Amino acid sequence: MTVDKNNLSPYLNKSSRDVFGKVLVDLAETDERIIAITAEVSNSVRLDGFKKRWPHRFFDFGIAEQNMMAAAAGFARSGKIPYVSLYAIFATLRAAEQVRTDVAYGNLPVRICPSHSGISLGEGGPSHHTIEDISFYRSLPNMTVIVPADGIETAMALRATAGLAGPVYLRLSRAPEPVVYTEEFNFTIGEARTVRKGNDVTLIAYGASVGNALKTAEILMTNSIDCRVIDMATIKPIDKQAIISAASETDAILSIEEHSIIGGLGSAVAEVLAEAGINIKFKRLGIPDEFTLAGPYPELQKYYHLDGSGIAKRVQSFLKE
């Protein structure tokens, strides 16, 4: 997207976790029900600013993620709006039962906003990478699942979730995502955004993969392949019409995500296409059905072909099949 140098957001070129910490403080200024909860990683998830500004509204449970999530449900039942942030792997696996039974079952306004998702904690390896979270959270009744593409969309999405009655999973990244948006906008939950028009093939992505898909589109344009790029920031409820329209207006669809190809965005898109009875070339790009490797984040993106050039090669190969 073209950068308007006269109208740049303060969230431009910021990682989603950095923006989360700043915007949460702003939201708390106008809503005293908002509290922040973490599990001994306040600095890593950017809650130190909230802690300094609102010490009586900040709670650190230490390395006790299950107790933390159960307490968040208790706070919500008491009229508070808890924003819970920790590493995504622990929000997904260690506290899974409490998220399901205490938070989702009660349809409580708990906002689970974990950082270090996908493979963004590169050197942490498979014990700290999170490639199962979208699959888990989108399967929970009452849960809204959102993955913003960059810092600006994080701010817009966070504000949009403020008034929701039920629980939210807002997935954040440790590393700065490629810039997709240069201006603030009204984020609508459940509505995809077409960030690049194209007629040949559609790339549907979320998170950092949206910016990488835009890089892919520029690469493929040199080979006369015109890519549409859709930012599917809301995984649940998913924008079915955007998928169906892409299927009728382009020749192929590829989903792209830093997540297992099983159960994530690719599975959600496939479900929409299958139930609509649409026959179209379709492929899921993501982490294969295996445990991840450890290494610097950019190198891992390259290894799994999730950087711009890697995606481009996979798109070209798929279109030739």
Q: Among residues 317, 302, 304, which one has the least CA distance to residue 201?
A: 317
Report how far apart, in Å, the C-alpha atoms of 44 and of each of 24, 220, 238 are. 15, 37, 30
Please enumerate, as own/partner, the contacts of 246-250 that have beta carbons within 8 Å and a separation of 24 or more.
246/202, 246/204, 247/202, 247/273, 247/276, 247/278, 247/280, 248/278, 249/199, 250/198, 250/199, 250/200, 250/201, 250/202
**CA–CA distance, 272 with 112 (Å, rounded to integer):** 26
Q: What are phi and psi of 110, to 5 degrees?
A: -95, 125
**CA–CA distance, 65 with 71 (Å, rounded to integer):** 10
Q: Among residues 274, 321, 11, 320, which one has the least CA distance to residue 156?
A: 11
Q: What is the DSSP letter of 113?
A: -
In DSSP terms, 169 is beta-bridged to: 112, 145
Catalytic annotation, residues: 65
Q: How far is CA 281 from the centre of its chain?
A: 25
Q: Among residues 236, 275, 227, which one has the least CA distance to residue 254?
A: 227
Can you spell out the DSSP letters for 240-286?
Answer: HHHHHHHHHHSSEEEEEEEEETTTSHHHHHHHHHHHTT---EEEEEE
Q: Which two tokens stand for residue 229?
A: 């790029």
**CA–CA distance, 139 with 263 (Å, rounded to integer):** 9
